[in-house]
A and B are shown apart, each in its own frame.
Chain A
Amino acid sequence: MAIKLDTTTIGTREERLGSVVGYVGTIKDLAERSRCGDLKNRGRCFSQSSSCDAGCVLGYLSHIRDIAIINHAPSGCTAAASPTLTMQTQLAAKRNLPYDTVILGTDMKEPDTIFGAAAGLRETIFETYRRYAPAAIFVATSCVSGIIGEDVDAIVAEAREELSIPVVPIHCEGFRSQVWATGFDAVDHAILSGVVKPPREKRNFVVFKNFNESARDDIVEMFAAIGVDTMMVYSNTTLEELSHVSEALATVSICGTLASYLGNGLEQTYGVPYIKTINPLGIAGFEVWFREVGRVIGREAEVEAYIERERAVYIPKIEAIKEKLKGLRVVLGMGSSFAFQVARVVQELGMTVAYVASWHYDSRYDDGNPPPHVQHLAEHTPEDFRVSVADQQNFELLNILNTYKPDLYLARHGGTSVWAIKQGVPAIFMADEFLTFGYKRTLSFAQLILDRITNRSFEKNLSARIKLPYTDWWYKQENTLLYKAE
């Protein structure tokens, strides 16, 4: 689907990518229905608190280190501002960089819901500029500003006239999309439409889309080995740096869900090739991905040399540890990309995938094609396995773990791995997106699993002494009992 940069709003993932938050089936069925484009969402008649796209926007945008973000919302919507900024400050400190981004709110109150709050927002934009002189101001909307029909675009356009910096609206009303990852797209859209400039020259670097750049040193070294520089976005970038992403050789990413909009947007708008293979998790993922990078930027020989060197060091070690992991049954609960890519790594390491719960699922990406990792997994899996799209629904997940009784639960996103442990299932919290990146980390991941299932003290101690919040009745039901029909 073509990305349009001359509007301030983008369609939700449901509209653009046929995304769903409720599905029950198997990996082969999911792959087929993605190809046919007939996947339908299934609602629920019971649900638990999830996440919203506005939260995603505030968290992801604040990776940039010299901007101001204003959330036009009641106070609670900005409650996570401080923990978010602290985390970003710590990430910058790791690299001895200053971090000056601020997150403000407009503290919308009851009269604002009746009379609107244009004056308050306008004043906050100017006051923010006076206080912090940021490189840009991003104004993020909220449920309240959306429902009352506040004309944020007009207020922002007016401010942009008066201030000498980019002032950019981001539409992320929490009710619009049930897929919080729509927030990633909203951020990318704001960057593409409000910050990125047409290429002034072509330069020798790749844009690497990620979250917290924990593997930065290795990645910079790896690309240096094939003769190119790396720009990791958006963590620790400045607005000026981001304005140049159109000059890159290619866009690459650790996660298809995260990078679809920026990658395809840069490709469609500025001809920057976007690497659309499976992502570099595990061995197959890394090699398929890196070879495609080499092909696209014309560094095939260097890539092959790098792969050969790394294989010689790590493959024997990975083969040795695989023996000890053989036959372990694993349940995964993760986002639309990681769920299926880490499942691939799990199989690669000789373990069995018992069940995958994907938080949401995109039937296709912004290039119109179904996610390659699901097709790859459906094609290569030794046997079909159950898949559901579970929207972080804790009650479904604990039911699944109770039914499948796996040896290990792997999760991304805070708030699920701990519940597996409370139910006595060893779990690994994989928030670090680079945990299975490349050979070295795939080996460390295998070792982490081995350590984790060997010392089960914590879950044994805790689970024996607590009661879980669900009724006995619920554990006797199918985990999909409360889904509605398509």
Chain B
Amino acid sequence: MARTLDQVRYKCALGALQTVQAIERVLPILHAGPGCADKLTAGNGTSGHFAPRIFPCTNIAETEIVFGGEQRLREVVENALRVIDADLYVVLTGCSSEIIGDDAGEVVRGFRTAGQPVIHASTAGFKGSNYQGYEWVLEALFTQYLSRPAAGGTEKGLVNVFASLPFHDPFWEGNLTALEGLLADIGLTANIIFGYGRGLKHVDRIPRAQCNLVVNPWLGLSSAQLLEERFGTPYLHYPNLPVGACETSKFLRAVGAFTGIPSDVVERVVAEKESRYYHYIERYADIFLENRIMSKRFTVAADTQYALALTRFLVNDMGLFPQRQYAMEDVPEKYRADIEGYFRDMNYDIEAEVSFETDGYLVQNEIRGADYHGYPLIIGSAWEKKVARDTNAHFLSIAWPLNERLVINSSYVGYEGGLKFLEDVYSVVLTRFT
């Protein structure tokens, strides 16, 4: 039901066009209004190989609303195949085409029957968020593009990795690359479909993986379940995106155990990485401990992925105390109880309360009313800038919408990512003194 949407943190399901865009040489074709892609990609790097201005779109007008838009879709797809060089074309339907009842699936089946590489996902904006749209695009890929059974059998050590929401999470590509590196450190090969140098050949390999790895509190779970159903691939759900030494070592041990990597191999890697990590932590511990203005307590107001990952890092690695945390992407009800549990599983039985409130106005009022016993540390999105100023907080924006900061390919994941996060936090903290 319609409700007050104040400070939007998620997009509509058609935002899945960014999921398609993240797969190299796969092109979204929009059966939607002329302004949909424009709005959904505002603030992102929009000049990549396939970008919003390149996406074919039926730019639905009054004529289609009145007389139907299937013929319009057919001619746009037909010409997209001639004009734009892509490996796969994914038709995404928006609000207008779905309300008027166009059967895009039927149009697309016509092309597939003729041997053309076209698939379809229903992503009407009113049906869900871009988080759900991500899973619907994956479902379309797995059911319409991937044939079964897997050709060539299972490849031992090959792990399909799903983690951050492409483009919506500003660090998505850096995160995937960092996870790929961590898996490689213990002898596994990550199979990732999103980002540089990957693409359909990685989609093709999905059925051959030894297992699927979902590194997210909830996003991607239903896709992993679908892969299990279709290809019999087991999956490991690792809810926490690992940031810093403590969480990354735990992550490596869990992945190693699940995939059958001998523990001495994992332990050797952990020992070496931690030694290097603490080499730097030791050198800068004075700044962490003796800075007069750094916060003792913090709040993350972001999507669940970062609310959880940064809370666990700041508590388990850095010894800070959590105030209430905010997971704001409109988390589906069925995942909420488990997520609350992830926030209770920290060192010294420290627990963080997590709120699933999506309304930024209410969240910020709570932040204003909370006692941080000193300067608060607020980690969030551009929406938190005002409340940070009002509460004299240290403020770092890390989540969409991210307006006053450029992220190209960096990441907070892993040992190196933890150090990078500390660089960013203290680059804010060091601008003030008390």
Contact = CB atoms under 8 A, between A and B. Distances in A.
B55 interface: yes
A422 B48 CA distance: 10
Contacts of A55: 35, 38-39
B83 A470 contact: yes
Interface stretch (A174-182, A210-218, A241-249, A269-277): A174-182
Contact of A75 (B12, B42, B55): B12
A83 interface: yes
A121 B65 CA distance: 23
Contact of B125 (A49, A51, A76): A76
A104 B79 contact: no
B368 to A, nearest CB: 13
B383 A106 contact: no
B349 interface: no
A469 B50 contact: yes
Interface string B31-55: 0011111111011001101111111
Interface string B180-217: 00000000000000000000000000000000000000
Interface in B288-323: none
B53 A107 contact: no
Interface stretch (A306-314, A377-385, A412-420): A412-420
A159 to B, nearest CB: 14
Interface in B117-143: 124-127, 129-130
B376 interface: no
Given A46-B76, A107-B2, A470 B84 contact: yes
Interface stretch (A140-148, A278-286, A295-303): A140-148
Contacts of B59: 47, 49-50, 178
B39 A107 contact: no
A49 B64 contact: no
Contacts of B86: 469
Contacts of B38: 49-52, 55, 80
Interface in B389-421: 401, 403-404
**Chain A interface category by residue count:** 35 or more
A48 B57 contact: yes
Given A79-B15, A82-B7, A82-B43, A175 B55 contact: no
A260 B147 CA distance: 57
Contact of B42 (A79, A109, A128): A79
Interface stretch (B92-100, B104-112, B260-268): B92-100
Nearest to B358: A107
A419 B403 contact: no
A49 B14 CA distance: 13
Contacts of A52: 33-36, 38
A110 interface: yes
B33 A175 contact: yes
A86 interface: yes
A128 B4 CA distance: 8
> Which of A77, A79, A86, A127: most chain B Cβ within 10 A?
A79
Given A45-B79, A82-B8, A469-B54, A77 B401 contact: no
A112 B126 contact: yes
Interface in A104-155: 104-113, 117, 119-121, 123-124, 127-128, 131, 143-144, 147-148
A95 interface: no
A458 interface: no
A474 interface: yes
Given A47-B56, A49-B38, A79-B40, A117 B403 contact: no
Given A46-B75, A144-B126, A482-B79, A105 B33 contact: no
Contacts of A96: none
Given A46-B76, A74-B125, A108-B126, A82 B34 contact: no
A80 B38 CA distance: 9
A392 interface: yes
A48 B54 contact: yes
A167 to B, nearest CB: 15
B126 A469 contact: no
A149 B10 CA distance: 26
B249 interface: no
Contacts of B95: 74, 113, 143-144, 147
Contacts of A105: 5, 8
A180 B1 contact: no
Contacts of A470: 83-85
Contacts of B58: 47
B141 to A, nearest CB: 20
B30 interface: yes
B306 to A, nearest CB: 17
Nearest to B38: A51
A466 interface: yes
Contacts of A87: 403
B175 interface: no
Given A471-B83, A471-B85, A109 B15 contact: no
Contacts of B65: 147, 175
A357 to B, nearest CB: 13
Given A109-B126, A467-B49, 16 more contacts: A45-B75, A46-B83, A48-B54, A75-B11, A76-B11, A76-B14, A76-B130, A79-B39, A86-B401, A104-B6, A124-B4, A144-B126, A415-B47, A474-B83, A482-B79, A482-B83
Q: Which 5 A-B pairs have the closest CB atoms?
A: A120-B2, A52-B35, A76-B12, A117-B2, A46-B79
25 contacts: A46-B56, A47-B57, A48-B56, A49-B56, A50-B35, A52-B34, A55-B39, A74-B95, A75-B10, A76-B13, A79-B8, A82-B7, A82-B8, A104-B4, A106-B4, A112-B1, A131-B361, A143-B60, A144-B95, A174-B35, A175-B64, A415-B47, A415-B52, A469-B85, A471-B83
Interface of B: 1-8, 10-15, 27, 30, 33-40, 42-43, 46-47, 49-62, 64-65, 75-76, 78-80, 82-86, 95-96, 99-100, 124-127, 129-130, 361, 381-383, 401, 403-404
Interface of A: 45-55, 72, 74-84, 86-87, 102, 104-113, 117, 119-121, 123-124, 127-128, 131, 143-144, 147-148, 174-176, 178, 180, 392, 394-395, 414-416, 418-419, 422, 466-467, 469-471, 473-474, 482
